[in-house]
Amino acid sequence: MQSYIEHAIGDCGEGVVLKCRPSREVEIFSSFPRRMWASLTQVSTPSLVLYGESTYPFVPQSVQRWAEGNRHVNATQVPGGHCFMQEDPAACSQQVEAFLLG
């Protein structure tokens, strides 16, 4: 989480901005794994999936589908948009830490 905070986002005075080139972000988000849903059903490690309350409509639907189909997945909606972790990194890291420390 600390590496994400230090290397992925930067302060711009009015909030935060991505440190990577926009073209790199496009490369990341235009790729996806083949047979993703089949792979997701095989996850056997306790997993926390956080998603913003104001994200794209497909996100909560997909997260709920995964959580309902896999008992190891805990889905939690948090305040914020699609990039909630950039809007409030401290709150995000607290959620992750609480989950990991159980």
Q: Considering the entire predicted model, what is its pTM?
A: 0.74
pLDDT of 72-87, one tens digit each? Answer: 999 999 999 988 988 8
pLDDT tens column, 26-83: 888 788 778 888 899 999 999 999 999 999 999 999 999 999 999 999 999 999 998 8
> For position 80, which CATH number holds?
3.40.50.1820
- The backbone torsions φ and ψ at residue 29, rounded to the nearest 5 degrees and listed phi first, read -80, -10
What span, in angstroms and rounded, lies between the C-alpha atoms of 96 and 63?
Answer: 16
Q: How many domains are contained in the chain?
A: 1
DSSP output for 15-63:
SEEESS-HHHHHHHHT---TTHHHHHTT--S-EEEEEEEES-THHHHHH
Q: Which domain holds residue 73?
A: 2-101
Length in residues, the chain: 102
